[in-house]
Amino acid sequence: MLLVLVLSVGCNFNIFDNDEKIDELGWKKTSMPSNLKGIWKTNNVQFIELTSKKIILDNREWILMSVYKKDDEIRLEGQSGIQHKAYYCKNIHDDTMELSIGEIEFSSYDSKMAPRDEWIELSK
């Protein structure tokens, strides 16, 4: 009886929840870094635009679903219709960064597991 009471009380206080919000791949949920927001270019041509709510790439809008951090990388998860894409950013400074994109998939989990493209150097 006491065990049932303890488990019942413990569950009501969410002691089993992941308070750190770390996903199955070890990435911690975070907010969008302000220095990532803006228009990023390669060879002085717009490549991608990042805001706190969306990602625009090749004239296609992706809703920014979540932002995660692991070591020195940020992973942005975007959704457009039923498709998902993972965007990886590293070596982030106010006016430069490197970007790699996971393939388009039909689930958020698959986009995180998809192989990345090569790293592209971008500037503002």
pLDDT at 5: 37
pLDDT along the chain (124 residues), means of 10: 41 49 90 96 96 96 96 95 95 96 88 90 97
Q: What are phi and psi of 14, to 5 degrees?
A: 55, 40
pLDDT at 25: 84
- The domain segmentation of the chain, as residue ranges, is 20-123
